[in-house]
Amino acid sequence: MKDPIIQLKGLTKQYGAVKAVDGLNLDIDKGEIFGLLGPNGAGKTTTILMMLGLTDPTSGTAFVCGHNATSSPIHVKRKVGYMPDSVGFYDNMTALENLVYIGRLNGVPENELKKRSAEVLEIVGLAADQHKKTSAFSRGMKQRLGLADVLIKNPDVIILDEPTLGIDPTGVRDFLALIKQLSRQQGLTVLLSSHHLHHVQQVCDRVGIFVNGQLLAQGDIGALSAQLFGTDSHVTSIKTAQPVPQPWQLEAELQAWEAITQIRIHENELEFTSSRDVTSALVRFLVEKGYDVIGVNQKNYGLDDIYQKYFESNSTKKTSYEKSIS
């Protein structure tokens, strides 16, 4: 039985005339890693703040771990660890002191505190630097300490706002691997927001695309591409040894296949767009007709393309809107 740990219903936040978040409905199940993907200013941070009761929604409700985030934020904050996008620490304190302070605020008993903080620092790989002042920390180390901060309270849900921002590629990979590992080992629910498609693609079970305060689509990456590109979701490109003559007499024959919707020819490269996967049939057909196939490439839509497509449709909508008001 599915019992979503985060439930957002018609969540709306209005700043003056601008709707930062517009009627957001979202369910996130226990134990999954959900990626909230959107460009800057899409309302991701506002949504997260509303989930923690740090800002009040104009309308709608956010239920996290069974508590209403607006009316009982304290209960929510006991269960949820939140790492803000630009996490800051008290510069005059060491990493350990910063961590212990947060542990105390969360009511971790004094006799367990030492053990717990040592454990958590070990997990995030900062055990060697625990007595350094945080003013000397690099961005990547601060992010790790931020994660330690989140873990020390033993949360059910982790919310990470732009966790990969400003860390170098290896750092990002390690960080995301760490998050994934933690989620799988401890059954944590993770919500992470990002505008980096590849990062989200690496770890997330499900992705929600969030543009201008609206959740345009959600699901796993495969489902998203099907939802978006509809019937045109399969593209096969085939390379042959000899250039294909123009015009090509076989083209008409292939056009007759009901699955194929489009054929593009560029010297020795053929690109077929089809409603279902016809790659093997195409290769067989070409070989029978005496073509030497030297390369077959089945194109899967990545998050990049999905994102691009949403972005395009969104920007055209925007320009048409601007035209209508001018």
Partner 1 sequence: MKSQSPDPGPFGVMVHKEIADHIRSWRFSILIALIVLTFIAAMYVSLANIKSAIGNTKDPDHLFLYLKLLTTTDNSIPPFHVFLSFLAPLLGISLGFDAVNSEQNSGTLTRLMAQPIYRDNLLLAKFVSALVIVSGLFFALALLMIGGGLVLTGVRMEPQELLRILGFIVITIAYVAFWLSLSIMLSILFKQAATSALTAIGIWLFFTIFYQIVINLIVKSFLPDPAYLSQAEIIRYNDLILNLQRIAPNQLYSDAVTTLLMPSVRSLGPVTMEQMAGAIPAPLPFKESVMIVWPQVSGLMASTVGCFAFAYYFFMRREIRS
Which residues would be at the binding site for partner 1 (CB under 8 A)?
45, 49, 52, 54-56, 74-75, 77-78, 80-82, 84-92, 101-102, 104-107, 109-111, 146, 149, 153
Check if the beta carbon of residue 182 is closer than 8 Å to that of residue 188: yes
Left if phi > 0, otherwise alpha if psi is -120 to 50, otherwise beta: which for 118? alpha
Shortest CB 89 distance to partner 1, Å: 7
What does the DSSP 8-state code read for residue 94?
B
Other CB atoms within 10 Å distance of the CB of residue 221: 20
Please report how close the Cβ of residue 146 comes to partner 1 at its closest, in angstroms: 8
Looking at beta carbons only, is 126 or 228 nearer to partner 1?
A: 126
**Shorter beta-carbon distance to partner 1: residue 105 or 226:** 105
DSSP lists the bridge partners of residue 193 as 36, 161
Nearest CB to partner 1, comparing residues 85 and 205: 85
Question: In angstroms, what is the minimal distance from the CB of 161 to partner 1?
Answer: 9
Q: Looking at beta carbons only, is 22 or 149 nearer to partner 1?
A: 149
Minimum Å gap between C-beta 79 and partner 1 is 9
CB closer to partner 1, 104 vs 266: 104
Q: Are 116 and 152 in contact (CB under 8 A)?
A: yes
Nearer to partner 1, 126 or 216 (CB): 126
Cβ atoms within 10 Å, residue 64: 29
Q: Where are the alpha helices (DSSP H) in 152-235?
A: 169-186, 197-203, 221-229
Query: Residue 89 has which token pair?
Result: 């620490």
- Write down the least CB distance from residue 102 to partner 1, Å: 6
Q: To the nearest whole angstrom, how small is the minimum distance from the Cβ of residue 87 to partner 1?
A: 6
DSSP state string for 301-322: P-HHHHHHHHHHHHHHHHHHHH
Can you state the percent helix, strand and coil of the chain, rounding each to 5? 40, 30, 30
**Residue 89 burial (CB < 10 Å; 0-12/13-18/19+)?**
buried
Nearer of residues 72 and 240 to partner 1, judged by Cβ: 72
Query: How far, in Å, CA of 32 to CA of 50, rounded?
Result: 20
What's the closest the beta carbon of residue 114 comes to partner 1, in angstroms?
A: 10
Element (H, E) at 44: helix 44-51
Region at 176 (left for phi over 0; alpha for psi -120 to 50; beta for the rest): alpha
**Smallest gap, in angstroms, from Cβ of residue 144 to partner 1?**
14
**Nearest by Cα to 198 from 219, 176, 179:** 176
Q: Which is nearer to partner 1, 49 or 172 (CB)?
A: 49
